[in-house]
Structures are given as C-alpha cells and as structure tokens.
Structure 1
Amino acid sequence: MSGDRPSPLVIERILRDRQGIWQQIVAEGDLNALTGRMLASSAIALACYGAVLGAFHSPLMALTSALKLPLLFLVTLAICLPTLYLFNLVFGARLSVRQSLALVMVAITVTSMLAVAFAPISLFFLITAPDYGFFKLLNVAILTLSALVGLRFLTGGMQVLNDHGLLAPEAATAKAPAQATAQAPAQVAPAAGSTPADAPAAGQSAEPVAEPVAVPAGAAVAAANGATAVAPAPVPAQWTGQPATAAFPPGMMPPGYAPAQRPWGSPQVRRAEPTQRPASMTLLYIWILLFGFVGTQLAWTLRPFFGDPGQDFAFFRSIDGNFYAEILRTIANL
C-alpha cells in the first residue's frame, strides 16, 4: 500500500503501514492531502484531550484547554520546523519543506492519538480521585510518554530517508559503485603468450581425450581369466553407521572422495560494516531536545490548562517561574 487510501483514521494507516508512509514521503506523493489529514486528526484528538484536562476546574476551562492544547503543538511546530529544515540543508540533505513537515506531523499525530487514548484513564482518576497535584502529574506523564513514542516514529522515518540517500547523498553515491564492483564476477585475463587451459594445443585435434580410469585389482584379475566381474556397489556411510572414509586406509582414498566439510571448520563470513551515521541524524536528536524545551516553555506561557480549583478562571496567567520548577514543587507537595 503505497498511496494514501481514503480512510477515516489516518493513525490506523500510520501504525499498520508505516513503511508505506515513509515511501510516500520519500516519493513526495500527494503529501499535501496526507499532511492535511494528519493535521485535522491531531487537532481533533488534542482538543478532546485538552477538554479532559480543563474539566478539573470548570466547563469554561475545559473549552479553553480544548482550544489551547492544539495551538500549543502547532505553534511549537511553526517555531522549530525552520530549524530542522535549515539543519538538513547545511549538512547536505535533500529534504524538501513538505517532506520535513510530513515527518514531524507523523510524530505529532502519533503523540496526539496516544494522548487521546489515555483520556478515559485521565477522566477516571478525575472522577474517583480529584486531587489537583496528582491529576496534574498524571497528565504530564501521559503527555511525556506519548511524545516519546511519537518522536520514536520521527527518528524511524529519518532513518528510512537516510537509507534512501536523502540525508547523506554523497555517501549513497559513493556506495553504489562499490556495491556494483563487489557484485561483479572476477575475471582474470590470460597472460601474454599463454594458452588457455581449455584450448587445444597446436597440431592436436579438438576431440576430448579420455582420462584413465582406475580399475580395481579384482576386476583386472577377473578380466584376465575371461570372467565378467561385477564391481561391488558402495554402501552408504549412513547405513553402516561409520564415516564415509572409515573403509579406506590413509593415503588410499578412491577417486572422487573428499573428507566431509565440518560446519565449524568453514571460513567465517565477514559481516558488512554498519554505515556511518550522517550529521543530519545527529542534529535530529539535538532538534528533538530543542523541540521539547520550546514546547514546555510555550506550555508554561499558555497556561492554565488544568486550572487550579483555588483560583478563579483566567484565560492566561502571569509569566513567573518555569515549567520544571513547577513540576518539582508539585512533586514535593504530594
């Protein structure tokens, strides 16, 4: 399945046919439709999960969080996508803007769908154990786990693009002639003035020459006496339980016999050395850290998402402190 089939759930295709997704991104086939479907699916899923987050405070906060959570991911993508694209260009990658956007949208789609899959669990704890600190830490853990799985898809897609030479085109170009040379059969030209082994000598006919055949001694004696001797049929070694060479003394091997090759005595085949990781893959991990820092800081700026029940409703809070200090303070207060 290489094309984008019409399906109400794009996440199903991403999870079932991820190789088809990567091949479509490599070929840049109908990426606008694929990216649009992933964008719509992610926005709906994040809005549903945001409504669960804000439901801890009030229905108005649930509506506000349903609007702000998709905005959080999309604004973070808009801030960090140019950095990823320029990183690839600087280090020789051939990714287009549409390919980079589609790759990141795959990660965001997986993240949002996993988050909304955890929404019933979050809603269950909201009803049965309405503790603000625990509810906040639970949902931060859910979003972190979902984001890690989504970024795993991003690195897998970049690895596929690397295998197709889109991240390190120079290495792929240099590897192709080497593989063609290794697969070509080795042919040795005859030396000057030499005669090939299969060619007949000068003055000789091209007819095949019969090779001498070894005749057993008993058969020779019988032939001399005028009797017809029948050579005994060889008994297979597996019938007698003895090795194939046990009936013959050392140095008296019959023609055509050779000692059996032991599996442990065969020469070891050298495995191919792993390809060197391009600089674009290393910078991808740096970009992921950058994406995480920008996303957490933007989430702190757009808060509240949960809504402290001890405070009145507010669309935004004053900017003070940071996300990580708030998480540590919440853990300490549990």
Structure 2
Amino acid sequence: MANSLLVIERLLRDRDGIWNQINEERDLKQLTGQMLVSSALSLALYGAVLGFSNGAVQAAASFVKLPLLFLATLAICLPTLYLFNLVFGAKLSVLQALTLIMVTITVTAVLTLAFAPISLFFLITAQSYAFFKLLNVGILMLTAMVGLRFLTAGMRALNEHQEAKALAAKRAAQAPVVAVTAEPAVDTADKNGAVLTAPAPVKTQVQIPDFGSRPPAATDGSTSMTLLYIWILLFGFVGTQLAWTLRPFFGSPGKDFQLFRSIGGTFYADVFDTIGRLLGG
C-alpha cells in the first residue's frame, strides 16, 4: 500500500526510468498494480467530495462511480490503442499498452485529488450548484490534459527506443564482411639445423560496420503518434459519454437520491445548459 501511494512521486521524478522499465517490460505487473491502487483510491476520495454536494448517500455512490468511470473507459479503449500500434509497427505488448495508459490515469487521478481541498472550499462557501459542477468539470478536464501529456511523452519515448533498436539491427546486418588471412607458413631452422614449421595460415572473417555509408532509414513514428492523438479523442468521447451514462456524480439539489438516471441528452448539452443558467443568474 505504501508503494502504491508513493508511485506518483516516481512518475513525476523519474519519467525516463518509467519509460525504460516499460521498454524492457520489467516488473510491469507490479507497477501496474501499484498505479491501479493509487489511482482508484485518489478518484474515490475525489468522487466523495463531488457527492457531498447532495448528501452522504450521494457521496458514497460517487466514491464508487468515479473510479469505475476511468477504469471502464480504459477497458473499452485499450484494445483499440493496442491494435492501432500493432498494425502500424509500434509492436507494444498488451501489458506495455496497459501500463502506459495507467500512467496517464494515475497522474490524472492524483492531481485531481490535489484539487479536492479547493473543490471542498467552494462547495462550502459558494453555495451554487451550477458553479460547483462547472468548477469540477474544469478540474477534471485540466488534470486529464496533464495526464495525456504523459501518455504522448511515453509513447514518443517508446517509439524512439524501438527506432534506435531497429536502426542498430539494420546497421549490423548491412555491415560488410572482410576476409583476413594470416601470413603463410614459413619453414625455418634452429641453431641445431632442425626444421621448424610455422602454424598453418588461419582465415577469419571480420564484420566491419560501414560508418561512411548512409544509414538505413529508421521506422517513422509520426504515423503512430498521429493515431495516438486520434485515440486520445476517442478516449475523451467515450469517457464523457460514459460519465453521462453513470450520472449523477453531484446530485441535483432538491431531488431525491438516484443511483443512475435515465439515458437521454448528452454531456456537452448539459455543460452548455449549465453555463447558460450560471451566466443568466
């Protein structure tokens, strides 16, 4: 548990070490488990803050639903990311892709928890449901953007590692082979007149890298990064729609507690409607 709670410090302080660990697939199950615990706990605590706007029962429900939202979105979108990168040459394993996304979710979750005191402060002092809802939507969007920057940085580091590895393999394969033959055997005589014969010639082959020739082209990672940006948009749309499906997280004042509401409308329409009501007084 202690390692799970402190994994965020390593993510923020030792990013290169995390990317190397993912590249080499070292102890990824342990790392992923630590991030899962840390992110789930952080999101659960923040969800409880959201739910307190409408009482303890709503807080308990949001305590469970906010981690469920992120993990369900991950489960829906992970196969797409894995197959995209597999088709276009990134060659990530499922565990590598899972670990990379968990880095994103963990950074997002812990940064979100860091905003919990601010959210709670405005819940107590502002006494405005519309403002409180928009404030927390803004917090979640901001922390998600920071987390996604880790995702793009990690994918770029993995692509560079794979390109360097492929380039080194091509250089080794294309290096010319030069035959080297030892001097021929020469008969000599010692001081007593005995004939001494030198060892038979030995023929060896030495592979010499051709540093003067143009290096082979490495795999272009731009396509992989473009697909990653498309996947990020997909992740955002799935996450927001799933959040709308799992609502309420806040709980409208004056309404009875509901675990789920009927499916209708969209997340974006509700946000714009809330902005309009807030600006209209």
Quickly say closer, same or farther: Cα 1:91–1:57, change in 2 above 3 A.
Answer: same
User: Partner amino acid for 2:85?
Assistant: N
2:34 to 27, 34, 37: 37
Q: Does 1:327 align with 2:271?
A: yes
Percent of residue pairs identical = 66
The residue aligned with 2:68 is: 71
Tell me how far apart the structure 2 counterparts of residues 113 and 8 of structure 1 sit (CA, whole Å): 9
The residue aligned with 1:120 is: 117
2:92 to 92, 95, 106: 95
TM-score normalized by the length of structure 1: 0.68
Give, in angstroms, the shift of residue 278 of structure 1: 3.2
After superposition, residues 76-87 of structure 1 pair within 5 angstroms as 76-87=73-84
The residue aligned with 2:249 is: 305
Give, in angstroms, the shift of residue 25 of structure 1: 0.4
Structure with greater helix percent: 2
Contact 1:92–1:169 (8 Å) recurs in 2: no
Contact 2:166–2:218 (8 Å) recurs in 1: no
User: Partner amino acid for 2:139?
Assistant: I
1:278 to 222, 229, 253: 222
Identify which range, 8-17 or 140-149, moves more after superposition: 8-17
Q: Does 1:23 align with 2:14?
A: no
The residue aligned with 2:202 is: none
Structure with greater strand percent: 2
Bigger Cα Rg: 1
Give, in angstroms, the shift of residue 51 of structure 1: 0.2
CA RMSD of aligned residues (A): 2.4
User: Partner amino acid for 1:22?
Assistant: W
TM-score normalized by the length of structure 2: 0.80
Tell me how far apart the structure 2 counterparts of residues 165 and 132 of structure 1 sit (CA, whole Å): 49
Question: What per-residue deviation string (whole Å, max 9, x for no partner) do you get for residues 187-243 of structure 1?
Answer: xxxxxxxxxxxxxxxxxxxxxxxxxxxxxxxxxxxxxxxxxxxxxxxxxxxxxxxxx
Quickly say closer, same or farther: Cα 1:7–1:82, change in 2 above 3 A.
Answer: closer
Tell me how far apart the structure 1 counterparts of residues 238 and 29 of structure 2 sit (CA, whole Å): 26
| TM superposition outliers: structure 1 runs of 4+ over 3 Å | 5-8, 168-184, 273-278
Tell me how far apart the structure 2 counterparts of residues 331 and 13 of structure 1 sit (CA, whole Å): 38
- Unaligned ranges ≥5, structure 2: 176-208
